[in-house]
């Protein structure tokens, strides 16, 4: 099978990352303690079972005793603990501001190895949603960790057969006990940045699968190919500086949400390939409340709220930060929002940034102007709200929003291991966050793939990652 992707950037497997082109490869090579099935439910992978204390601080994991890594070593609890500890090490680094993410959650954890296939974790603080973190940390043999980051030895259904700057070869690993490869044939990933060439390659039969297609490109797929789409968990939004300036005014924040024509942004920015958000999460996120209605496009209501904001000191001007990529439609979104806000009497100045990593650090350092374009990628409700919403935490992407009632709810959720009760708490908090409008809530993109009919066994995980294995 030949797969064409726009990028092919291997990196340290323990780096916190949401690059789907990389994760398509890593998910085939590596196993994690747990995973989500195609319905979003946590299921076993390397762990066979787990138990949490009532307050979510103490966890116990039982492991499969029959796991063999690609280098023929058997897996034990020592391997797992060594990987979880290494993921928190400063040597792992990060990208786009993700340095230290795992350490911020697990860096103070105490581990106890009970026996070869059982270990325990004592967390520094309650974390009922711990599985959302562990599903993103791959497990490698302890013996190779000293050779990182250029070692890619896992226990998944495919092993690395070779790689170069523009190509990766994966070979079936039939000894895998957690999952079985979907085919006896190897998989080759190659780089093709040109979207039209990716479409042409699958239409011509030169490739069997292509990734990262726009809605317009997906419509060009030939009748003998199939379009595979996935409603992603990525949230495209504009974060509002709630700590200083006009963003401190709740009526103005609500006005911005009513003034922006999100449907127009979806049509022009994504070719219709996106769905509106009703808050900071998607329906794929645990605790997202589908009963919350998205902000209606209502310029008259926006003007009335702006009048209240002006009475509180708003001068009618707004400065918005725009990265030139990630999301790639950001410049167009900025222009369209500038037009929408001008229509309700707000004078917008756009500040554009070419250096995307530097832009991420501007946001992380809380140095934005009044508003900034950003995306929220984790399929972890706990991470999104912990890193961006809870003012007691003041996490990396938090921009000054504060609601003590919301904070108490999130603290309560962290100590509630009962899924039903925790979901109820998150939904109650969700309604308050929506009403406070700390972001301009826009949309979640739809991910499009082109897949030949002979590759009908390919699956897409809830995170939007390709899976090359026998179906769950």
Same domain as 420, residue 312: yes
Query: ω into residue 448 within 30 of 0, thus cis?
Result: no
Answer yes or no: is 452 within a domain.
Answer: no
What residues contact 224, with CB distance under 8 A and at least 6 apart?
452, 453
Give the C-alpha separation, 240 to 414, whole Å. 25
Q: 129, 98, 28: which is closest to 381 by C-alpha? A: 129
Q: 190, 183, 203, 137: which is closest to 162 by C-alpha? A: 190
Report the b/e string of 40-55 with b at 16+ CB within 10 A.
eebeebbbeebebeee
Answer yes or no: is 368 within a domain.
Answer: yes
**CATH number of the domain where residue 323 is located:** 3.10.105.10
Position 472 scores a pLDDT of: 58
Answer yes or no: is 433 within a domain.
Answer: yes
What residues contact 187, with CB distance under 8 A and at least 6 apart?
1, 3, 28, 158, 169, 170, 468
Give the C-alpha separation, 132 to 135, whole Å. 6
Same domain as 268, residue 400: yes
In 10 A of CB 407, how many CB atoms? Answer: 17
Same domain as 141, residue 42: yes
Domain boundary among 133, 155, 177: 155
Answer yes or no: is 388 within a domain.
Answer: yes
How many domains does the structure of the chain reveal?
A: 2
Tokens of 69: 């890594």
Domain boundary among 155, 178, 211: 155
In 10 A of CB 108, how many CB atoms? Answer: 12
Position 457 scores a pLDDT of: 77
Is 374 within 8 Å of 237 (Cβ atoms)? Answer: yes
State which residues form the domain around 135: 2-155
Is 462 within 8 Å of 230 (Cβ atoms)? Answer: no
Give the C-alpha separation, 8 to 21, whole Å. 6
What are the angstrom distances between the C-alpha of 361 and each of 52, 73, 130, 365, 387? Answer: 35, 40, 26, 6, 14
Give the C-alpha separation, 250 to 262, whole Å. 20
Q: What burial class does residue 408 get, using C-beta atoms within 10 Å of its C-beta: 0-12 exposed, 13-18 middle, 19+ buried?
A: middle
Report the b/e string of 159-189 with b at 16+ CB within 10 A.
bbeeeeeeebbbbbbeebebbebbbeebbbb
Tokens of 463: 């995170």
Same domain as 430, residue 341: yes
> What is the radius of gyration, based on Cα positions, of the chain?
23
Same domain as 284, residue 399: yes
What residues contact 179, with CB distance under 8 A and at least 6 apart?
31, 45, 156, 157, 469, 470
In 10 A of CB 451, how many CB atoms? Answer: 23
Q: 332, 274, 331: which is closest to 448 by C-alpha? A: 274
Give the C-alpha separation, 284 to 242, whole Å. 27
pTM assigned to the model:
0.95
CA 236 to chain CA centroid, nearest Å: 11
Residues of the chain short of pLDDT 50, as ranges, are: none
Same domain as 148, residue 250: no
Tokens of 415: 């100590």
Answer yes or no: is 230 within a domain.
Answer: no
Same domain as 242, residue 151: no
Same domain as 257, residue 137: no
Same domain as 265, residue 145: no
Give the containing element (helix H, strand E) for 225: strand 225-231
Give the C-alpha separation, 270 to 52, whole Å. 42
Position 326 scores a pLDDT of: 93
Domain boundary among 108, 128, 155: 155
Q: What is the pLDDT of residues 259-316, one digit of tens each?
A: 999 999 999 999 999 999 999 999 999 999 999 999 999 999 999 999 999 999 999 9
SS3 383: helix
Answer yes or no: is 196 within a domain.
Answer: no
Answer yes or no: is 217 within a domain.
Answer: no
Give the containing element (helix H, strand E) for 274: strand 274-276
Same domain as 440, residue 312: yes
Answer yes or no: is 463 within a domain.
Answer: no
Tokens of 409: 């709810």
Strand partners, 464: none
**CATH number of the domain where residue 21 is located:** 3.90.76.10
Q: What stretches of 191-249 show up as alpha helix (H) in DSSP?
A: 195-203, 215-218
Q: What is the pLDDT of residues 415-429, one digit of tens each?
A: 999 999 999 999 999
């Amino acid at each position: 099978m030949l797969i064409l992707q726009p990028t092919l950037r291997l990196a340290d497997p323990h780096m916190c990352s949401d690059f789907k082109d990389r994760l398509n490869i890593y998910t085939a090579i590596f196993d994690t303690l747990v995973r989500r099935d195609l319905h979003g439910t946590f299921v076993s992978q390397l762990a066979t079972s787990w138990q949490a204390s009532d307050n979510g601080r103490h966890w116990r994991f039982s492991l499969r005793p029959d796991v063999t890594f690609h280098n023929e070593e058997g897996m034990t609890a020592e391997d797992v603990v060594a990987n979880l500890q290494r993921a928190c090490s400063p040597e792992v680094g990060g990208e786009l501001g993700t340095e230290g993410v795992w350490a911020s959650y697990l860096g103070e954890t105490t581990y106890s190895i009970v026996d070869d296939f059982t270990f325990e974790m004592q967390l520094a603080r309650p974390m009922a949603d711990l599985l959302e973190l562990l599903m993103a940390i791959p497990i490698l043999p302890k013996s190779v960790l000293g050779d990182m980051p250029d070692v890619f030895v896992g226990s998944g259904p495919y092993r690395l057969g070779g790689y170069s700057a523009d190509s990766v070869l994966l070979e079936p690993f039939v000894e895998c006990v957690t999952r079985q490869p979907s085919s006896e044939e190897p998989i080759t990933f190659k780089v093709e940045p040109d979207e039209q060439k990716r479409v042409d390659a699958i239409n011509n039969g030169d490739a069997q699968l292509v990734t990262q297609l726009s809605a317009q490109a997906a419509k060009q797929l030939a009748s003998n190919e199939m379009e595979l789409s996935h409603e992603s968990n990525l949230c495209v939004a504009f974060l509002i500086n709630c700590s200083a300036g006009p963003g401190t005014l709740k009526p103005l924040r609500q006005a911005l949400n009513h003034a922006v024509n999100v449907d127009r942004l979806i049509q022009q920015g994504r070719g219709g390939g996106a769905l509106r958000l009703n808050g900071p999460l998607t329906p794929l996120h645990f605790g997202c409340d589908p009963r919350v209605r998205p902000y209606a496009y209502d310029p008259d209501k926006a003007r009335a709220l702006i009048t209240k904001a002006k009475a509180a000191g708003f001068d009618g001007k707004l400065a918005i930060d725009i990265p030139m990529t990630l999301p790639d439609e950001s410049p167009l979104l900025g222009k369209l929002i500038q037009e929408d806000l001008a229509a309700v009497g707000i004078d917008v100045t756009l500040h554009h940034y070419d250096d995307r990593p530097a832009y991420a650090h501007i946001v992380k350092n809380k140095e934005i102007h009044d508003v900034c374009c950003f995306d929220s990628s984790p399929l972890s409700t706990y991470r999104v709200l912990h890193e961006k919403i809870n003012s007691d935490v003041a996490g990396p992407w938090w921009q000054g929003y504060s609601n003590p009632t919301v904070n108490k709810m999130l603290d309560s959720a962290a100590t509630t291991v009962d899924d039903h009760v925790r979901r109820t708490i998150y939904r109650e908090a969700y309604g308050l966050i929506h009403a406070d409008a700390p972001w301009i809530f826009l949309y979640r993109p739809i991910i499009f793939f082109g897949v030949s009919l002979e590759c009908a066994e390919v699956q897409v995980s809830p995170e939007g990652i390709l899976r090359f294995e026998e179906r769950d």
